[in-house]
Amino acid sequence: MKATGKRELAVLAAASALAMVGIVALVVKAASRAPQWLTAAAASPLAVRCAVLMAGGVLVLGLLVALLVRVRPRLVASRRGLHVDQGGTAAIEMAFVFPLGLMIFLTVTQAALLFNANMVVHYAAFAAARMATVVVPMEINDESHNLVYSPDQGISQKREMIRRAAVLALVPISASLETTGAGIGDDFLPGAEDMVVAQTRQVMGLSESGETPGWLRRVAAQYAYADGMCTRLGGGASGGSSGSSGGSMPITMIELAPPDHWQDGNPDPDCPYRHHRRDEWTQWGWDYEPYCPFCHRDLPIWDYWYWEMLDVKLTYQFLLEVPYASRFLGDEITVEGLEGRNFAAQIRVVGSLSNEGGPELRPSG
């Protein structure tokens, strides 16, 4: 190699090394300032697995290309005396390499989409937890300050607002679920399409009057999947890594966890709003036992203290739609409203934020 060529290669290598150092420095600096949900998403086992698959797939594809580029000139040079046309050799090489390369490419593509979905689900859990810090301290209807009805008590407007915050964040990665025609399920309400469109208008802040544009119906179809509108999926695992349980389960499960002092099944001794009631008479007078006033009501209600954590548990079935690769990264499921064989990866995230609805300073005592 000439001296000029060597100098050019040295300059190119130095520039590449400098660019790599700059990129690493930017990544480290950005990671130190990244939101907590973003760092948790990037460090989650699913994200690491997808990153390994993408890096490994790109590496294998690069090795295949390098192998073809390196081997073909040797074949041409060794057989130049026999014949010149190497078209048959190229076709045979492509026949052997193309299926493997295509599978690797599809796997890398699906892993990239799953990595992105994992990030979005983590953000949806954060959005739901952020909504919880806003609505839990509010007084909405008969749910007073820091009080929330549990799922056993029926509809809670606070829990519904938390759920919608997560559903709206999941729309961009959701599949389109048509809400018309057969196959939706016996429990799907009549006029479901109009209901989903109206609900989509509401959550997106659009007026109820006016013509419905085409993009809104597309968004409504994705919202219907994210919302899990009367749709159930089921089926056993087919060797995927995301895990699934048999039977029927919602596409999206969004649950506000009970207060910490309720999770042991006996909130009385730990209730921050505790009172005492008479237990029995002794020679020293009445014995009093602690009890939670919000647990012994006719309709018990969760009571969150000022600095208790608000945990929102989010389980989402991300539909894998890349051919062939989907079955290696997910479990086979049956979704009412979607035809054919479908595969999904179950993503579970817990978003946690402290309840900031009380005073800035903790009460003493």
Q: pLDDT tens digits for 171-192?
A: 899 988 776 543 333 333 344 4
Residue type, 13: A
What is the CB neighbour count within 10 angstroms for residue 33? Answer: 7
Residue 335: the pLDDT is 77
**Do 329 and 286 belong to one domain?**
no
Q: Is residue 361 domain-resident?
A: no
DSSP 284-308: TEEEEEEE-TTTSSSS--EE--TT-
Question: 78 or 201: which carries more pLDDT confidence?
Answer: 201
Cβ distance 276 to 94 under 8 Å? no
Q: Is residue 231 domain-resident?
A: yes
Q: Is residue 156 domain-resident?
A: yes
**Do 18 and 141 belong to one domain?**
no
Both ends of the chain: CA-CA distance in Å?
81
Alpha carbon 136 to chain centroid, angstroms: 23
Token pair for residue 206? 């659009």
In this prediction, residues 246-270 reach a mean pLDDT of 82
**Do 250 and 113 belong to one domain?**
yes
Q: pLDDT tens digits for 41-76?
A: 888 999 999 999 999 988 888 888 777 766 655 544
DSSP character at residue 261: G
In this prediction, residues 77-104 reach a mean pLDDT of 64
Residue 316: which domain range?
34-79+88-259+304-356
Report in angstroms the alpha-carbon separations of 170 from 98, 119, 227, 251, 337: 35, 10, 9, 11, 19
Residue whose C-alpha is closest to residue 300's, from 308, 292, 310, 311:
292
**In the chain, what is the greatest distance between 2 CA atoms, to the nearest angstrom?**
116
**Residue 334 three-state SS:** strand
Band (pLDDT 50/70/90 cuts) for residue 25 is: confident
Token pair for residue 91? 């076709």
**Do 271 and 224 belong to one domain?**
no
Is 128 a residue whose pLDDT tops 90? yes
**Do 349 and 308 belong to one domain?**
yes
Distance CA 96, CA 63 (A): 15
**Do 201 and 322 belong to one domain?**
yes
Looking at the 3D structure of the chain, how many domains does it have? 3
**Do 17 and 162 belong to one domain?**
no
Is 231 a residue whose pLDDT tops 60? no
